[in-house]
Amino acid sequence: MSSVVGSDWEAVIGMEVHVQLATRSKMFCGCATDYLGKPPNSNVCPVCLGLPGTLPVINRKAVELLLKSALALNCEIQEFTKFDRKNYFYPDLPKGYQISQYDLPMSRNGWIEVAGKRVRITRVHLEEDTGRLVHAGDSLHSGGVSMVDLNRSGMPLMEIVTEPDLRSAADARDYAVELRALLRTIGASEAEMEKGHLRAEANVSLRPRGSEQLGVKTELKNINSFRALFRAVEFELKRQAEVLESGGQVVQETRGWSEAEQRTVTQRSKEGAEDYPLLPRAGPAAPELRAGLHRGASRLAAGAAGSAPRAPCRRAGTVRVRRRPDHGRG
Ligand SMILES: [Zn+2]
């Protein structure tokens, strides 16, 4: 039970969940997706390293799994979609940009029922994963050396974003549990939180009960279990209530969950879109999908009627993915 339940404050929580899709090859190249346990930087190629002159090719299987997921989440499939470059530099992203979807995601406006309540889905889109930093020692701050492993770079990621419809830590956890069950049922992902297949982030804010306005939110990251999700949101709601009740203001920031300390800690302060300049449809490095998503979605829904019971069959046809000569294995 959240400390703010029954108080003067109402919790307002939205979720962003990243899901590694169950494909055999990466999002835009032919590298395998079973990188766990492989020697660092052995599962890479010029495409997922982002070397100059390489061209990404969309993975058809990833598109199919996204469509299946979007249908199961009652989303509208968009007829035209494209990929954009989200520019930022971080050591685990040496090429300096992530291929993602900005203004034209593959699907929007869905919903999922969680414990009898409808949670609205804002969008479901595709992007690529980054590499990983491995810190010698316990953490970024105490470790003497950090190393980069790019085996994960370019893994297909599906991002599922909700409207701020959740009202408690239990709601947030129940949503993630329900989502995992759905993704496993339709075969979109193994969805193991502990293995990083499913990464949940919660946007948490408080507002005076009865108010329609949204309060200042914090974004919670580093959550790798359902229990941690519950505890992180619970802690954050209490922390924000204390800040507000002592006359202070919540600072918009990203906070990580410290399992050791059982508390959220500041990671970085407010980030806006200006921190991630976008290059819309940036040339050949930003592939697009033209017509056929509607028909493909419906064919999948019809063909997978048994495995996607919540997916309404809307239209018929095939997925037509514009692709260059095949180097993806699906
Ligand atoms: Zn590759």
CA nearest to 71, candidates 173, 185, 156, 172: 185
Provide the sign of the torsion angle of the four alpha carbons 129, 224, 77, 276, taken in this order. negative
Give me the mean pLDDT over the 274-279 stretch. Answer: 66
Q: How far does residue 218's CA lie from ligand 1's centre (Å)?
A: 34
Q: What is the pLDDT of residue 134?
A: 85
Where residue 272 falls among pLDDT bands split at 50, 70, 90? low
Band of the pLDDT at 322, cuts 50, 70, 90? very low
21 CA → ligand 1 middle, Å = 16
Summarize the confidence of residues 23-31 as an average pLDDT. 96
Angstrom distances, CA of residue 243 to CA of 113, 116, 247: 32, 32, 7
CA of 89 to the centre of ligand 1 (A): 19
Distance (Å, rounded) from C-alpha 129 to C-alpha 154? 5
Q: Quote the CA–CA distance of 240 and 180 in Å, as a whole number.
A: 28
Whole-number Å distance between alpha carbons of 296 and 50:
30
Distance CA 269, CA 252 (A): 7
CA distances from 146 to 6, 135, 176 (A): 45, 4, 31
As a whole number of angstroms, the distance between CA 263 and CA 30 comes to 40
DSSP 90: B
Coil/strand/helix, residue 66: helix
Question: Is residue 1 in a domain?
Answer: no
Confidence at 325, pLDDT banded by 50, 70, 90: very low
Interatomic CA distance for residues 177 and 229, integer angstroms: 11
CA 330/CA 321 separation, integer angstroms: 12
CB 88 within 8 A of CB 96: yes
Q: State the distance from the centre of ligand 1 to the C-alpha of 286, rounded, in angstroms.
A: 16
| 49 CA distance to ligand 1 middle (Å) | 7
Q: How far is the CA of 232 from the centre of ligand 1 (A)?
A: 35
**For the residues 160-175, what does the mean pLDDT come to?**
97
Residue at 121 is within a domain: yes
CA of residue 45 to ligand 1 center, whole Å: 4
Residues near 176 by Cβ (< 8 Å), separated by ≥ 6? 15, 17, 193, 198, 200, 226, 229
**Ligand 1: distance of its center to the CA of 135 in Å?**
24
Distance 152 CA to ligand 1 centre (A): 9
* Beta-ladder partners of 258: 263
How many degrees, rounded to 5, is the angle at CA 237 between CA 234 and CA 240?
145
CA of 42 to the centre of ligand 1 (A): 10
pLDDT on residue 228: 96
Q: Could you tell me the pLDDT band of residue 67, with boundaries at 50, 70 and 90?
A: very high
- Total domains, the chain: 1
Place 179 in a pLDDT band, splitting at 50, 70 and 90. Answer: very high
Which residue has better confidence, 77 or 275?
77
* pLDDT higher than 90, residue 176: yes
Beta strands 218-221 and 253-258: pairing type?
parallel
Mean pLDDT of 21-41: 94
CA of 206 to the centre of ligand 1 (A): 43
Closest CA to 58 of 322, 280, 325: 322
% of the chain exceeding 70 in pLDDT: 78
Per-residue pLDDT at 324 exceeds 50 = no
Residue 69 lies in a domain: yes
33 CA distance to ligand 1 middle (Å): 9
20 alpha carbon – ligand 1 mean position (Å): 16
Say how many Å lie between the CA of residue 54 and the centre of ligand 1.
10
Quote the ligand 1 centre to 278 CA distance (angstroms): 23
Q: What is the pLDDT of residues 235-269, one digit of tens each?
A: 999 999 999 999 999 999 999 999 899 999 998 76
How far does the centroid of ligand 1 lie from the alpha carbon of residue 31, in Å?
Answer: 4
Compute the average pLDDT of residues 291-303: 67
Residue 1's pLDDT is what?
A: 43
CA distance 11 to 164: 9
> Residue ranges of the alpha helices (H) in 74-195?
169-185
- Longest distance between any two alpha carbons in the chain, whole Å: 62
Q: How far, in Å, from the CA of 38 to the mean position of ligand 1? A: 14
CA of 46 to the centre of ligand 1 (A): 6
Q: What is the DSSP letter of 283?
A: G
Asked if residue 326 is part of any domain, the answer here is no
Q: What is the pLDDT of residue 279?
A: 67
In this prediction, residue 40 carries a pLDDT of 94
Place of tokens 């930087």: 41
- Retrieve residue 19's tokens: 């899901």
Q: Give the residue numbers spanning the domain of 216.
A: 9-303
323 CA to centre of ligand 1 in angstroms: 16
Residue 314 lies in a domain: no
Least confident of 63-72, 115-124, 293-302: 293-302
Distance 208 CA to ligand 1 centre (A): 49
Confidence check: pLDDT of 26 > 80: yes
The rounded Å distance from CA 169 to ligand 1 centre is 38
How does the average pLDDT of the chain come out, rounded? 84
Ligand 1: centre distance to CA 29 (Å)? 5
Q: Is residue 118 part of a domain?
A: yes
